[in-house]
Amino acid sequence: MPPIAEVANLAVAFPDPTTGWRHVVDGVTLELMEGEALGVVGESGCGKTLSALAIARLIPEPGRITGGSVRLAGEDVLAADEKRMCALRGAVVGVVFQEPAQALNPVKSVASQVVEAAVLHGGGLTGSQAQELAVTLLSEVGLEEPARVARSFPHQISGGQRQRVLLASALAADPRVLIADEPTSALDTVAQLRMVELLGRLHEARNLSLLFVSHDLGLVGRVVDRIAVLYAGETVEVADRAALLNRPLHPYSVALLETGAFVADAEHTRFPTVPGRVPAARDWGPGCRFAARCPSAFERCRLTRPGMNQLPGHRRVRCFLAGDAEEPGA
């Protein structure tokens, strides 16, 4: 069975005053199967959000997709006109955006925004039916007093409530694919866990294909079936959840996993971090983009970009230490 959503060798560029166009994503491949939950992890600047939004062709202007392919429910997203994409958004793919304060219209009620996708996709709802649907959806995403929230405006509810409103809105047209872009980033620890549990319940109850984007490998690991690790605009490892969490193979995956725990001693508590920082696209060299931060890097890593190694168990790793690599871009 083909993937319900697929991004292959994706390249995304933005205008650059020096070079004309600068690629910020170049080498991302993701496959989301029907009914699967896929986690996409990495630090800020790794291309997670752009790669996920490419599925719904929502790359923010003035960015553009310059290479690769994107398919959704068997359709070539890059070949579809905007009218067709409007039909796919909401009905086939729903998106929970990262910043609810920016995604919600401050002068429209919560109820009107929650049911907007259902109305646009031929719901034929009366006013009372739309209100009832909004309350039902808000209740489904775990909001207390859903009728009151439905009557409210975004500024009258908390940040955590706004995030759940976005989730309800994304579910309104009963999509097959749900993209959750950093849905826990603005929440406290308790609210983060509740959001992850909610996503897991919705994934199971609705048989949703879930793409969960996050910088937190530990949170993602609670709900997904597989994990894709992105670094500096490319996929560096893809594996089943248990395999990656128990035995990560790419040095960056190892580092991410180590940052998920804290170290305590008699004097202080510290949280491990990955030394260095994600290189800007202008600083990508000819070799492995993680080489400058990698404790295992050797000369070949700095001179030659590794391709993706296909390993047993449908596992892929972009690292020379994992075996003989294929050609870059594979």
**Domain architecture of the chain: domains with CATH:** 5-92+176-264 (3.40.50.300), 103-174 (no CATH)
Helices (H), 181-262: 189-206, 217-220, 241-246, 251-258
Structure confidence at residue 261 (pLDDT): 47
Q: 152 near 164, Cβ under 8 Å?
A: no
Q: Show the tokens assigned to 58.
A: 């929502």
In the block, residue with structure tokens 């031929």? 122
Long-range pairs for 128-134: beta carbons < 8 A, 24 or more residues apart: 133/172, 134/110, 134/168
CB 50 within 8 A of CB 56: no
pLDDT tens digit sequence for 280-304: 999 999 999 999 999 999 999 999 9
47: left (phi over 0), alpha (psi -120 to 50) or beta: left
Quick one: tokens of 288? 């492995």
Report the greatest alpha carbon distance in the chain: 67
* Mean pLDDT, rounded, for 232-240: 98
For 86-140, the pLDDT digits (tens) are 999 999 999 999 888 888 999 999 999 999 888 888 667 788 888 999 999 999 9
Q: Which pLDDT does position 327 carry in this prediction?
A: 40
Give the CA distances from residue 24 to residues 67, 141, 172, 232, 263, in Å, rounded to whole numbers and listed in that order: 12, 34, 32, 8, 34
Q: Is the peptide bond before 62 cis (omega within 30 degrees of 0)?
A: yes
| pLDDT for 41 beyond 80 | yes
Task: Tell me what pLDDT residue 258 has.
Answer: 86
CA dist 301 and 148 (Å) reads 57
Q: Output Rg (C-alpha) for the chain, integer angstroms.
A: 21
Strand partners, 71: 6, 76
Gap between the Cα atoms of 111 and 169, Å rounded: 9
Q: What is the pLDDT of residues 145-164, one digit of tens each?
A: 999 999 999 999 998 999 99
pLDDT in tens, 5-34: 999 999 999 999 888 899 999 999 999 999
Share of the chain above pLDDT 70, in %: 93
Length of the chain: 330
130/29 Cα distance (integer angstroms) = 39
Strand partners, 311: 315
pLDDT, tens only, 54-101: 999 999 999 999 999 999 999 999 999 999 999 999 999 999 998 888
User: With helix as H, strand as E and coil as C, how does the chain read?
Assistant: CCCCEEEEEEEEEEEECCCEEEEEEEEEEEEECCCCEEEEECCCCCCHHHHHHHHHCCCCCCCEEEEEEEEECCEEHHHCCHHHHHHHECCCEEEECCCHHHHCCCCCCHHHHHCHHHHHCCCCCCHHHHHHHHHHHHHHCCCCCHHHHHHCCHHHCCHHHHHHHHHHHHHCCCCCEEEEECCCCCCCHHHHHHHHHHHHHHHHHHCCEEEEEECCHHHHCCCCCEEEEEECCEEEEEEEHHHHHHCCCCHHHHHHHHCCCCEECCCCEECCCCCCCCCCHHHCCCCCCCHHHCCCCCHHHHHCCCCCEEECCCEEECCHHHCCCCCCCC
Q: Which helix (H) or strand (E) holds 116?
A: helix 116-120
